[in-house]
């Protein structure tokens, strides 16, 4: 474990003293140290376009009284800097008093190894894979006009120091390997993108020339889109494929079940606890404990061990996702969902790996049951308005369905729906649940954190498809 202040004028005794003194009249808070190392190596347009390495060290100091959060962060690790931060916190909370809450549950679980993926593969090795990707794709198909391939890796070490000297640590590896390809045929251009990743070394994902499978998938998506025709416009039935399309769950339901929006009563779900919000057979969990997944965490960014939180069980709303602040104010416990992008950001309740569990139907049954609709296989990204509940996501691979048969591919279109009612429109849940390939980043309040999603195929009876063809 690296010591975050051993090269500064701070001793552990100083740190413990400053933390304890600052937080003694507060309800909660901690000092959070973070040391992150990251790299990104990009091949683009037949060349190694950039190789970038970054190292960042800093602290974030937080004090909470009742609902008020005071936060101060800096990348100058010194006694002066920490004391300045402490002063800034005390000035915000000067007239407020609380009772410090010490308890953090303990865990011996570890959901990933404390490796540094950047050091585990040589630069030459990475360059070789990138060049192989470029050559492979351009040789494979003469319509390939552009290839971009990227390695991104990081190791983030954190230490949380609480009042009384309690210390909680974690070392988090994360990698992503991504391929984007553009095809041009008869004046038409289309792109296909595919990636893989998680909390292991690059080679755990790339062994057995697995990079070829990533290339093939990107190429397949682009080829399908070259033949796509304008998407239909209006309300219709939608079949979603398994895996990554679960960003529908993430946008439509997930964000609305985060503790902060519900404490503030600004979520469309805030008064629906215990009520039916989805069709029978729909069960959704948010799980931080799946081995080596992108959204998994041994402890969250407040030190709470993560867990598998049941959000919706057989259609009934069971739990919100909580950090310590919102849990305390809503008289419940943290679900280990307190996360932050870095030491520069405050903790918010966030998703980890959000999953709809398998049901009984087959994808085939779903397709056969649809007279007119679309079959959506892959998505770009989504967004939600928590308050009105309206959410969107963008198809990157979709087909029309006519009379129970899959037809032509259709152009990328935005799908829009209403979060609190969409899951009541789910009429079939597939038996084919699949995790996404490990590529998701969720944005909230300007902070991006890695997340995962999973779902089986599902049939939604009514959704608005934003094509151009009336």
Partner 1 sequence: MIKDQEYLKSKASYCLDLAKKLGATDASVTIGNSISETVNFRNKVLDESNRSDSLAMGIETYVGKKKSSISSSNLSEENLKILIEKCYETTKITPEDEFNSLPDKELLAKNIKDLNLYDQSHIENDKKIDYLKELEEAASIDKKIINTESSFTEDKSNFILANSDGFCNGYKSSSFTASCVAVAKYENNMERDYEFTSKCHLNDIFNPSELGKIAAEQTIKKLNPKKIGSDKLSIIFDKRISKGFLSAFAGAISASSIARGTSFLKDKLDQQVFSNEINVIDKPDLIKGMGSRSFDSEGVKTDTLKLVSNGILNDYLIDTYNGKKLNLKSNGRSGGSTNLYFENGNINYDDMLKSHSKILYVTETIGHGTNLVTGDYSVGANGFLIENGEFKYPVNEITIAGNLNEMFKNIILANDLEFKYSINSPTMMIDGMTVAGK
Sequence-distant (6+) residues with CB within 8 A of 385 are 391
Nearer residue to partner 1 within complex by CB, 112 or 320 = 320
Nearer residue to partner 1 within complex by CB, 196 or 231 = 231
Please state the length of the chain.
Answer: 470
Q: How far apart are CA 18 and CA 29, in angstroms?
A: 12
Q: Is residue 116 involved in binding partner 1 (CB under 8 A)?
A: no
Q: Is residue 393 involved in binding partner 1 (CB under 8 A)?
A: yes
Sequence-distant (6+) residues with CB within 8 A of 443 are none
Nearer residue to partner 1 within complex by CB, 47 or 110 = 47
Q: Which of residues 315-334 bind partner 1 (CB under 8 A)?
A: none
Q: How far apart are CA 141 and CA 49, in angstroms?
A: 22
Nearer residue to partner 1 within complex by CB, 50 or 275 = 50
Q: How far is the CB of 178 from partner 1 (least distance, A)?
A: 15
10 neighbors 77 (Cβ within 8 angstroms): yes
Q: Which of residues 248-277 bind partner 1 (CB under 8 A)?
A: 264-266, 268
Distance of CA 309 to the CA centre of its chain: 16
Closest CA relative to residue 14, chosen from 83, 102, 87: 83
Contact range with partner 1 by CB under 8 A, out of 10-18, 25-33, 83-91, 277-285: 83-91
Site size toward partner 1 (CB under 8 A) is 81
CB environment 48-57: b (16+ within 10 A), e (fewer): beeeeeeeeb
Q: Is residue 467 involved in binding partner 1 (CB under 8 A)?
A: yes
Q: Which of residues 446-465 bind partner 1 (CB under 8 A)?
A: 464-465
Residue 463 three-state SS: strand
Q: Is residue 85 involved in binding partner 1 (CB under 8 A)?
A: yes
300 neighbors 288 (Cβ within 8 angstroms): yes
Q: How far is the CB of 4 from partner 1 (least distance, A)?
A: 11
Q: Which of residues 130-159 bind partner 1 (CB under 8 A)?
A: 145-146
Contact range with partner 1 by CB under 8 A, out of 18-26, 81-89, 291-299, 311-319: 81-89
**DSSP state, residue 232:** B
Q: Which of residues 19-38 bind partner 1 (CB under 8 A)?
A: none
| Torsion 292-295-300-304 (CA) sign | negative
125 neighbors 153 (Cβ within 8 angstroms): no
Nearer residue to partner 1 within complex by CB, 314 or 388 = 388
Q: How far apart are CA 232 and CA 224, in angstroms?
A: 17
Q: How far apart are CA 289 and CA 296, in angstroms?
A: 6
Q: Is residue 79 involved in binding partner 1 (CB under 8 A)?
A: no
Q: Which of residues 215-244 bind partner 1 (CB under 8 A)?
A: 231, 233-235
User: Can you tell me which of 413, 429, 439, 451 binds partner 1, judged by CB under 8 A?
Assistant: 413
Q: Which two tokens stand for residue 393?
A: 């996501």
User: Can you tell me which of 73, 162, 293, 339 binds partner 1, judged by CB under 8 A?
Assistant: 73
Q: Is residue 310 involved in binding partner 1 (CB under 8 A)?
A: no
Q: How far is the CB of 9 from partner 1 (least distance, A)?
A: 12
Sequence-distant (6+) residues with CB within 8 A of 259 are 320, 321, 322, 323, 326, 327, 330, 337, 349
Q: Which two tokens stand for residue 339?
A: 């996360």
Residue 191 three-state SS: strand
Contact range with partner 1 by CB under 8 A, out of 13-21, 48-56, 204-212, 282-290: 48-56
Q: Is residue 48 involved in binding partner 1 (CB under 8 A)?
A: yes
Nearer residue to partner 1 within complex by CB, 91 or 331 = 91
**DSSP state, residue 254:** I
User: Can you tell me which of 42, 68, 330, 357 binds partner 1, judged by CB under 8 A?
Assistant: 68
User: Can you tell me which of 25, 167, 414, 431 binds partner 1, judged by CB under 8 A?
Assistant: 414
Q: How far is the CB of 208 from partner 1 (least distance, A)?
A: 26
Q: Which of residues 416-445 bind partner 1 (CB under 8 A)?
A: 416-418
């Amino acid at each position: 474990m690296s010591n975050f202040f051993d090269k500064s004028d701070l001793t552990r005794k100083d740190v413990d003293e400053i933390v304890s003194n600052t937080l003694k009249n507060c309800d909660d808070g901690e000092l959070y140290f973070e040391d992150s190392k990251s790299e990104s190596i990009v091949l683009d347009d037949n060349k190694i376009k950039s190789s970038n390495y970054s190292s960042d060290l800093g602290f974030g100091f937080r004090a909470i009284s009742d609902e008020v959060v005071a936060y101060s962060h800096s990348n100058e690790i010194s006694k002066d800097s920490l004391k300045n931060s402490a002063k800034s916190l005390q000035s915000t909370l000067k007239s407020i008093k609380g009772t410090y809450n010490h308890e953090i549950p303990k865990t011996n679980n570890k959901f990933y190894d404390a490796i540094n993926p950047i050091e585990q593969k040589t630069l030459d090795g990475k360059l070789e894979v990138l060049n192989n990707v470029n050559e492979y794709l351009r040789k494979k198909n003469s319509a390939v006009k552009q290839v971009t391939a990227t390695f991104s890796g990081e190791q983030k070490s954190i230490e949380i120091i609480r009042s009384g000297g309690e210390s909680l640590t974690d070392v988090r590896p994360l990698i992503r390997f991504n391929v984007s390809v553009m095809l041009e045929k008869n004046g038409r251009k289309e792109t296909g993108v595919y990636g893989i990743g998680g909390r292991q070394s690059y080679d755990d994902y790339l062994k057995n020339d697995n990079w070829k499978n990533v290339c093939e998938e990107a190429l397949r998506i682009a080829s399908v889109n070259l033949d796509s025709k304008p998407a239909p416009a209006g309300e219709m039935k939608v079949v979603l494929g398994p895996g990554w399309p679960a960003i529908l769950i993430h946008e439509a339901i997930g964000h609305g079940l985060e503790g902060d929006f519900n404490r503030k009563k600004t979520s469309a779900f805030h008064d629906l606890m215990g009520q039916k919000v989805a069709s029978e057979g729909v069960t959704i969990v948010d799980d931080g404990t799946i081995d080596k997944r992108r959204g998994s965490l041994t402890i969250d960014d407040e030190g709470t061990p993560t867990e598998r939180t049941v959000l919706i069980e057989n259609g009934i709303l069971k739990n919100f996702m909580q950090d310590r602040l919102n849990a305390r104010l809503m008289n419940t416990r943290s679900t280990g969902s307190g996360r932050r992008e870095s030491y520069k950001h405050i903790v918010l309740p966030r998703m980890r790996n959000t999953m709809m569990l398998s049901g009984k139907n087959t994808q085939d049954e779903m397709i056969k049951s649809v007279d007119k609709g679309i079959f959506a296989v892959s998505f770009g990204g989504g967004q939600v308005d928590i308050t009105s509940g309206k959410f969107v996501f963008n198809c990157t691979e979709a087909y029309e369905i006519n009379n129970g048969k899959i037809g032509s591919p259709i152009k990328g279109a935005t799908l829009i729906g209403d979060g609190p009612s969409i899951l009541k429109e789910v009429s079939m849940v597939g038996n084919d649940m699949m995790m996404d390939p490990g590529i998701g980043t969720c944005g909230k309040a300007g902070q991006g954190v890695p997340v995962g999603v999973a779902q089986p195929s599902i049939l939604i009876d009514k959704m608005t498809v934003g094509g151009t063809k009336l």
